[in-house]
Amino acid sequence: MTRIDRRMVRYALQADGADLAFPLITAEGDRPGPTGLFTGGIHGDEYEGPLALLRLAETLAAVPLSGRVLIVPFANGPALNAGRRVSPLDGINLARIFPGTEGDSASYRLARAIFALLDEADFLFDSHSGGVELAFLPVAGFYAPGGAVGPEAAAASLALARATGLADLWCLPPLPGVLSFEAARRGLPATGCEIGGRGHARPEDVATYHAAYLHVLASRGMVEQAPPPAPRRIFEGNWVRSPVAGILQQAAPAGTVLAPGDAIARVLGPTGEVRHAFRADAAGLVMAERNLCSLAVGDLAVCPVRVSPAAAA
């Protein structure tokens, strides 16, 4: 039977001498196989992945497992306790500082401790959502070849994203400091997924993540699971930031199909004046939407993406 070990991993001390630690759940099968690292809660206001990872641990305790599964359900405890995207200890976005360092602030030490788990892993599944401010369609991210990501790592990243069984794949922007990107640039198969948001954890979003975890494990021969459906679409593109401050008025929610010139949203001033209008530059789809309507200059505002002509299957 599968053995489950639950412990806290210390990575730093607070000023009062109290430990800073993150939870690590290890599922050890009684048959040989690969090791998978599953992470969630890099941002403290994202709950879908963490709750699905706790459910995954319960599932694995009751089924035969080949290999080992490392689960970090709530990576960023200080941010989780504050219900914030970034750590209240140092104001740092953990998702931009991997692989971290040993000697800087608490967040950098946390990044280093989590990144060290990649030395034991054969693949990485990093779980995200829109948090309080945003909301995503379910998408499995992968990295295209080029720059720091070699062709073999890119192909492995795409294969892992496909194995999730999610209908839509997203060619992720190559952002240094992101856990999945830093793993991919080192040659490790990695996917970073986005499901849900709005500061909630809808049961259907948690269930979608849980199913995706099992599909990935099945693709590696670690559990028995029916083959996932093939993805339908591959998205290319990213968020557009607001050039002005104001109130965002949505015209096209997530999932809306766009034609060139279609209205997506506009930014209003306090007397109703239109400060900026967002329109589609090309045909595509709205992959995610902003949940928080107040906008500062530079905030993520709209997320129109193109549907790649490359066949997803």
Q: Express each pLDDT in 15-33 by its tens digit.
A: 777 889 999 999 999 999 9
Q: Which pLDDT value is given to residue 309?
A: 80
- Hey, what domains does the chain have and what are their CATH numbers? 3-231 (3.40.630.10), 236-307 (2.40.50.100)
Question: Is pLDDT at 271 greater than 70 in this prediction?
Answer: yes
Contacts of 212 (CB under 8 A, 6+ apart): 125, 140, 164, 165, 166, 193
Q: Which residue has the higher pLDDT, 188 or 313?
A: 188
User: pLDDT tens for residues 98-126?
Assistant: 999 887 789 999 999 999 999 999 999 99
Cα(214)–Cα(228) distance, rounded to whole angstroms? 10
**Is the CA virtual torsion 296, 236, 186, 162 positive or negative?**
positive
Helix axes 203-219, 48-60, angle to 10 degrees: 50
- DSSP strand E in the chain: where? 3-13, 19-28, 31-39, 66-72, 123-128, 134-142, 168-171, 190-197, 233-236, 240-241, 246-250, 257-258, 263-268, 274-279, 284-290, 294-295, 300-307
Q: Which pLDDT value is given to residue 310?
A: 67
What global pTM score does this model have?
0.95
| DSSP bridge partners of 294 | 247
Instruction: Give the confidence band of 137 by pLDDT, cuts at 50, 70, 90.
Output: very high
CB 196 within 8 A of CB 254: no
Contacts of 299 (CB under 8 A, 6+ apart): 133, 241, 242, 290
Q: Which pLDDT value is given to residue 114?
A: 98
Q: Which two tokens stand for residue 138?
A: 């379910």
Cα(274)–Cα(267) distance, rounded to whole angstroms? 6
Angle at 234 between CA 232 and CA 236, to 5 degrees: 155
At residue 123, the 3 state secondary structure works out as: strand
Average pLDDT (266-285) is 97
Cα(215)–Cα(278) distance, rounded to whole angstroms? 37
User: pLDDT tens for residues 141-155?
Assistant: 999 998 889 999 999
CB 153 within 8 A of CB 68: no
Burial group, residue 234, by CB count within 10 angstroms (0-12, 13-18, 19+): buried
User: pLDDT tens for residues 60-81?
Assistant: 999 999 999 999 999 999 999 9
Question: Is pLDDT at 246 greater than 70 in this prediction?
Answer: yes
Percent of the chain beyond pLDDT 90? 90
User: pLDDT tens for residues 173-228?
Assistant: 999 999 999 999 999 999 999 999 999 999 999 999 999 999 999 999 999 988 88
| DSSP bridge partners of 23 | 8
